[in-house]
Amino acid sequence: PYDLLVVGAGPAGAAAAIYAARKGIRTGLVADRFGGQVMDTVGIENFISVKATEGPKLVANLEQHVLDYDIDVMTAQKAGKLSRKELVEIELESGATLKSRSVVLATGARWRELNVPGEHQYRGKGVAYCPHCDGPLFKGKKVAVIGGGNSGIEAAIDLAGIVEHVTVLEFGDSLRADEVLQRKARSMKNIDIVTRAQTTEVLGDGQRVTGLRYTDRASGDSHDVALAGIFVQIGLIPNTEWLKGDIELSRHGEIEINSRGETSVPGVFAAGDVTTVPFKQIIISMGAGATAALGAFDYLIRESVE
């Protein structure tokens, strides 16, 4: 068996594996795809100490760093079930079972998409999902935020300080964000809020986003809005479907962890976007991966005394 098995090879999983291997313990890293969400990212300008890079470049560096250590790397493998027996067992969808004295879960999350024409074509060319990451690219321009929940209204307030104008489009009859956020957004002169708006298409010129089309669900009329950017804020879905019932999850499906990365299952730790951590970023995920690996190491040295 492994001493530590990491599930997921995004920033959190890679960091956890490196920290574990540096302790000289038997480390495995199993993942569907090396790099996780970073593989889908175009420009990265907030990875501190690197002024600007690109997703696939950062992933290549991450992979090189991991391969520099004695880590058993297994990619193109999906975990399907976790169980705690004498050891922690991870059943793969391929049918194999991996056993380990401790586990770090770092399976990340995925943004809920609009599923409208143009969204994929203009991803990274005006269609964005992360205001902390891409907000500054739209300085002085007009953008829309789709989604009137807490993350949408937070994004609108954040962006309003950078861009020229923000239009918030909410599908429902009213915003779902906390009252205090709604009040703040309504007080800002460069935010407009449109409710009952169903986005139907991302418009572009072949190179970049030029606007979007939405249907007013009250009147049935279609409207076009000219924009440089569209921030989709309709939810981040943690990759925890396979863990339901076996580990404590929040009502949003995120793995509950404490400050040491411990979950509700002894010997099982978690890190990154898959957890209840309030902010989802590369640098934060890496720190969380390191924390979870050190938490697991602490657990292992205590366990072996018994």
**What sign results for the dihedral spanned by CA atoms 268, 273, 194, 202?**
negative
Using rule CB under 6 A, residue 106 touches ligand FAD: yes
Output the CA angle 140-171-152, nearest 5 degrees. 45
Angle at which helix 11-21 crosses helix 55-67, to 10 degrees, equals: 20
Using rule CB under 6 A, residue 37 touches ligand FAD: yes
The only residue of 2, 122, 129, 138 in contact with ligand FAD, by rule CB under 6 A: 129
The only residue of 272, 290, 292, 297 in contact with ligand FAD, by rule CB under 6 A: 272
State the residue for tokens 């297994």. 74
For the bound state, the minimum distance from the C-beta of residue 84 to ligand FAD, rounded and expressed in Å, comes to 17
133 is catalytic: yes
| Side-chain-facing half-sphere of 71: CA atoms under 13 Å | 30
> For ligand FAD, which stretch binds (CB under 6 A), given 3-11, 21-29, 148-156, 247-255?
3-11
Tokens matching residue 202: 């991302």
Using rule CB under 6 A, residue 28 touches ligand FAD: no
The only residue of 102, 151, 167, 239 in contact with ligand FAD, by rule CB under 6 A: 239
158 is catalytic: no
What are the φ/ψ torsions at residue 255 (nearest 5 degrees)?
-75, 125
Shortest CA distance to 18 belongs to which of 47, 51, 61? 61
Between 27 and 185, whose beta carbon lies closer to ligand FAD? 27
For the bound state, the minimum distance from the C-beta of residue 107 to ligand FAD, rounded and expressed in Å, comes to 4
Check residue 131 and give left, alpha or beta (phi > 0: left; psi -120 to 50: alpha). alpha
For the chain, the distance separating the N- and C-terminal CA atoms, rounded to the nearest angstrom, is 18
The only residue of 6, 280, 290, 292 in contact with ligand FAD, by rule CB under 6 A: 280
Using rule CB under 6 A, residue 33 touches ligand FAD: yes
For the bound state, the minimum distance from the C-beta of residue 101 to ligand FAD, rounded and expressed in Å, comes to 19
Tokens matching residue 155: 């994004």
Using rule CB under 6 A, residue 41 touches ligand FAD: yes
Using rule CB under 6 A, residue 44 touches ligand FAD: yes
Interface mask toward ligand FAD for 61-100; x: CB under 6 A: -----------------xx---------------------
For the bound state, the minimum distance from the C-beta of residue 244 to ligand FAD, rounded and expressed in Å, comes to 12
- Tell me, what amino acid is at 116? V
- Among 72, 133, 205, 298, the active-site one is 133
For the bound state, the minimum distance from the C-beta of residue 174 to ligand FAD, rounded and expressed in Å, comes to 28
- Point out the annotated binding site for NAD(+): 142-156
- Point out the annotated binding site: 3-18, 142-156, 263-273
Supply the residues annotated as catalytic.
130, 133-134
Binding site for ligand FAD (CB under 6 A): 7-13, 30-33, 36-38, 40-41, 44, 46, 78-79, 106-109, 111, 129-130, 133, 239, 242, 272-274, 280-283, 285
